[in-house]
């Protein structure tokens, strides 16, 4: 049987407690203080229990919201996280022979591509022919004699194919990711980047230009055109005439008319 709080209250003895010895009165006073503290603690616990009950209701509602938003966002986590696939393609070309041989397929252009997928969208980036790609890989590492990547045979050896592929993933995909992040920050969307025409060959070229082994291309010396051959002078020297455009001939004849007058 549960003991009620009022059962712990002391009953008066006689007319009042004042008739008891002083020590007993002090004990009664201390006991009353103890009962008061108990009531305080019980009241506080009741308030805390009510607060906890209210917090549990809030927690249940928050968990419901979490479940709803998780279901909405998980599709982006699964579908919209970009993935990159680098592979080597072999595009055979049809070449026509003579009437006896007919048409035939050439070995084609072996090249490296990077396919970017984000959600249900995809974009293929042309990284360059195997010859140009391996040449740049060697040059950016300071191998001017092209003694490492360039000499690999990814068509005939799987280990060479995997090595080049892993190196391209390491170098190219961070640059593409950075490009996509800049697009998202500036435009708030990625569709325009997906639809934009991008020359994927620029990535390795940029890396080569930033490498300590970059050698700027030598300037081409433009030779002065001699024009078409007219003949020889009496001294045996060749005579050339630079071909004029239609506008230049019109100007020439106009000046000739002015000189006659």
Torsion of CA 131, 136, 141, 144, to 10 degrees: 70
The tally of CA atoms less than 13 A away on the side-chain side of residue 134 is 22
Q: For residue range 37-46, what is the model confidence (pLDDT) as tens digits?
A: 998 999 999 9
The tally of CA atoms less than 13 A away on the side-chain side of residue 24 is 9
Mean pLDDT value across residues 65-91: 78
State residue 209's pLDDT score.
Answer: 94
Q: What is the pTM of this model?
A: 0.55
Average pLDDT in the chain: 81
State residue 219's pLDDT score.
Answer: 74
Higher pLDDT, 261 or 136: 136
């Amino acid at each position: 049987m549960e003991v009620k709080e009022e059962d712990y209250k002391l009953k008066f003895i006689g007319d009042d407690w004042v008739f008891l010895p002083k020590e007993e009165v002090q004990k009664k006073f201390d006991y009353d203080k103890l009962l008061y503290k108990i009531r305080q603690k019980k009241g506080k616990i009741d308030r805390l229990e009510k607060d906890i009950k209210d917090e549990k209701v809030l927690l249940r509602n928050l968990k419901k919201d979490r479940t709803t938003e998780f279901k909405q966002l998980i599709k982006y986590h699964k579908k919209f996280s970009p993935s990159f696939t680098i592979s080597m393609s072999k595009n055979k070309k049809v070449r026509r022979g003579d009437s006896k041989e007919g048409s035939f397929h050439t070995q084609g252009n072996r090249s490296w591509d990077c396919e970017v997928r984000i959600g249900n969208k995809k974009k293929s980036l042309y990284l360059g022919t195997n010859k140009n790609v391996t040449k740049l890989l060697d040059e950016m590492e300071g191998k001017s004699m092209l003694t490492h990547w360039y000499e690999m045979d990814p068509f005939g050896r799987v280990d060479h194919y995997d090595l080049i592929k892993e190196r391209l993933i390491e170098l190219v995909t961070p640059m593409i990711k950075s490009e996509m992040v800049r697009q998202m920050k500036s435009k708030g969307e990625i569709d325009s980047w997906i639809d934009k025409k991008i020359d994927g060959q620029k990535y390795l070229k940029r890396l080569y230009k930033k490498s300590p082994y970059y050698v700027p291309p030598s300037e081409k010396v433009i030779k002065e055109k001699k024009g078409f051959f007219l003949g020889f002078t009496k001294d045996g020297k060749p005579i050339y005439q630079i071909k004029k455009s239609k506008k230049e001939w019109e100007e020439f004849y106009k000046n000739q008319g002015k000189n006659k007058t």
